[in-house]
Chains A and B, each alone.
Chain A
Amino acid sequence: MAQQTKKTKKTILALTGALLVTSALTACGSKDDDTKTTTTTEPSTTATDGTTSERYAEPVTLKLMIDNQTSTEGIKAVADEIEKRYNIKTEFDLRPGGDEGDNLVKTRLATGEMDDLSFYNSGSLFKALKPEKYFLDVTNEPFMQNVMDSFLPTVSVDGKVYAAPSGASQAGAWLYNKKVYADLGLSVPKTWDELKANNEKIKAAGKTAVIGSYKDSWTSQLIVLADYANVQADAPTFADDFTNNKAKFADTPAALRSFQKLGEMQPYMNKDYLATTYDQAIKMLVDGTGVQYPMLTFALSNIFATYPDQIDNIGVFAQPADNADKTALTVWMPAAISIYKDGKNVEAAKKWLNFFASPEGMAIQATKAKPEGPYVIKGAQLPDDAYAGVKEMMPYFDNGNNAPALEFLSPLKGPNLPQLTVEVGAGMKSAEDNAKAYDKDVEKQAKQLGIQGW
């Protein structure tokens, strides 16, 4: 017995030793590989076409901090063109997205280690960074003349502008499978009741009418958030009153309605909505087992990347209001690109942004990344091969039937909204209770951020 255990001990020791050695070897190997790749990319290929007098003699490298969930293809295309023209290289510094990314950006700003350029959400999240302390005031820069007025308030503090748009806007709306709609003889709903009637028919046909993907709890907020253009049609001053502690979700009928709408959808959702993820929801929508999905239109790009042949089969409609002539589309503004005030290459960064935020820059971006909504740069056109869903959104812009989402109009967005909307959407709590709970959550945030009037 004892001998046997000794033997096994020996073999185990030998095995672990072997493992350690091999892992050390592989670690060395990968290190070698890394250095190799960096050295091979070192010699820069300088193109002769498109050179301007503003071109730097020596290459300048700018770092751009961007989250790892945004597709960088389009921005890279513009960055390559900038390198050709101005000899300014762009290094992409990837950071996590979501809340973790927020913390990272805030920490980097606080410790004075921000990159030359920062890519970040516009609206309430941007303002929470205190841009006036860290970013360059670009109000009077020539490139800001190109930017549409609708974008400016989302990146301004006290009338000064601190960022340029990173691309096209998008909408919070309902994506739907056009083929199933046609098969069942349905038409795009103009009122909330029509939407529910459609849901009944889809359910009767044995399909999921409304896809819920609450495993990724942020997706549960969409029905509430995408309703804001409708709220504003009924209560035009809600955003200001909400920010100034004069209006609440719970006692403003139009705003409370957003939570009620969410609560009414539970019977139409897929069975596993608490365990379904965003990626699974996209798959359901594309293969037609799920027919409608309340989502941001950036999902169109995900669909295009994974199921390119199905992209024209996905349509978009605005979340309907109770009354057809109040139905409007809720718009999400593009992310903001800002220049770090204390960066080493502020002048180069200005040049970078000057080209990036031009109609030409947007056109180059469109060659690699199709827009998920209209551009907010004056003179930038949608490309002809834009997604069918985006083309379907255009009437809402042509007729002016749209409004920015609340988070672009107010610095307040309670951090617990995803959990609260999961509870309402899953029928664990009533719309009224959680509208109240959300008001409390917002109050906590306003007090913590030290906003006046709270």
Chain B
Amino acid sequence: MQKASLTKASKRLYTYKFLLPAGIIYFVLFLLPTIMSFFFSMTRWDLVEWNFIGFDNYKTFFSESSLNIGFRNTLIYAVVTCSLKVILGLLLGVALTSGLRIKGYLRSVVFFPTLLSTIAVGIAFSSMMHPSQGLINKSLALAGIVGPDWLGDTSIALLSVAFVDVWKGVGMATVIFIAGIMSIPEDYYEALQIDGGNAWDRFWHITNPLVAPAMNSVIILSFIGGLRSFDLVWAMTKGGPGFSTDLIASIIYKQYQGGFYGLSTAGNVILFIGVSLLAFPLLKLLSKREVDL
């Protein structure tokens, strides 16, 4: 009889009760700050007192002289790191699922940089990239090549940082690809073998389309990661020389350091909207590509 008294509505409520604890944590720690940031982005704020100034912060943010560089650099950085991680990750993934004898060892070698602290990697590479004392240019000098000033030359500084990001992040991409490739049933390959396909056909007609879900994860993760990237750039160049490697995130951070809390909050809201505008359509576009196994 007790059971019968549970109406449909209370049954539904009953399930929500289980979601409540997680929901409260999510609301307090994630949703509430997000909503508050929309408000504080329209104030002049010193962490204690605020006064409402409407959209002035947004105007100031968009008139920031280094903002153009920031937007351009952020896009370049995201596209370069994302595409390199996809290409290299896929190649490594294929190589490390093949019959190589030492693939277990190689897998850990490729994954190892992912475990390191980004700041430590940044500091280590910035000393290796020193134009005259650094390991990289000293090695190049042995071969008779005069290496460039990797982080001082404004035309390549951003790419140097992106290269380090790829070195550090490709391990994660590879692991995702390996998981994707391993989940492809062996039958497809056997069928191809019977039809007389070669290694290229194996890759192009089976691995490539069937690994699409994994590839989408890699693209989304690394693209969003690239858009909001900050720590590596800060550790290696602090946005310099001048403003040449400034990303949106580092511009926001510098405003925060200057004590412009309202302004930097406005910057974060803009970054949030910008990343969403790019990431959601990308996700939609990519999910169309996925093939059901």
Interface residues in chain A, defined as those with a beta carbon under 8 Å from any beta carbon in chain B: 5, 8, 99-100, 102-103, 106-107, 110, 128, 130, 214, 217, 271-272, 274-275, 415-416, 419-420, 422-423, 426, 428-429, 437, 440, 444-445, 447-450
B254 adjacent to A426 (CB under 8 Å): no
B258 at the interface (CB under 8 A from A): yes
Chain B residues lying within 8 Å of A422, measured Cβ to Cβ, are: 240-242
A214 adjacent to B259 (CB under 8 Å): no
Chain B residues lying within 8 Å of A272, measured Cβ to Cβ, are: 130-132, 149, 152
What are some 29 contacts across the A-B interface (CB < 8 A)? A5-B104, A8-B104, A99-B257, A100-B257, A102-B259, A107-B47, A110-B47, A214-B241, A217-B241, A272-B132, A272-B152, A274-B149, A274-B151, A274-B152, A275-B151, A415-B257, A416-B254, A419-B66, A428-B241, A428-B242, A437-B65, A444-B60, A444-B64, A444-B263, A448-B60, A448-B258, A448-B260, A448-B262, A450-B51
> Of A5, A99, A415, A448, which is in contact with the most chain B CB atoms at under 10 Å from its CB?
A448
Chain B residue nearest to A276 (CB atoms) is B130
User: Closest CB-CB distance, A113 to chain B, in whole Å?
Assistant: 13
Chain B residues lying within 8 Å of A440, measured Cβ to Cβ, are: 65
B189 at the interface (CB under 8 A from A): no
Chain B residues lying within 8 Å of A415, measured Cβ to Cβ, are: 254-255, 257-258
Chain A residue nearest to B242 (CB atoms) is A423
Q: A411 CA to B86 CA in the complex, in Å?
A: 49
Chain B residues lying within 8 Å of A5, measured Cβ to Cβ, are: 104
Q: A440 CA to B67 CA in the complex, in Å?
A: 14
User: Interface majority SS on B: helix, strand, loop or mixed?
Assistant: loop
User: Closest CB-CB distance, A44 to chain B, in whole Å?
Assistant: 38
User: Closest CB-CB distance, A373 to chain B, in whole Å?
Assistant: 28
Q: A444 CA to B65 CA in the complex, in Å?
A: 11
**4 closest Cβ pairs, A-B complex:** A274-B152, A415-B258, A423-B242, A99-B257
Chain B residue nearest to A112 (CB atoms) is B48
Our pick among B51, B56, B242, B260 for the contact of A419 (Cβ within 8 Å) is B242
A275 adjacent to B152 (CB under 8 Å): yes
B259 adjacent to A448 (CB under 8 Å): yes
Chain B residues lying within 8 Å of A100, measured Cβ to Cβ, are: 257
User: Closest CB-CB distance, B230 to chain A, in whole Å?
Assistant: 14
B44 adjacent to A450 (CB under 8 Å): yes
Q: A110 CA to B254 CA in the complex, in Å?
A: 20
> Of B65, B149, B242, B260, which is in contact with the most chain A CB atoms at under 10 Å from its CB?
B242
Chain B residues lying within 8 Å of A444, measured Cβ to Cβ, are: 60, 64, 260, 263
B256 at the interface (CB under 8 A from A): yes
Q: A274 CA to B149 CA in the complex, in Å?
A: 9
> Of A416, A428, A440, A450, which is in contact with the most chain B CB atoms at under 10 Å from its CB?
A416
B238 adjacent to A217 (CB under 8 Å): yes
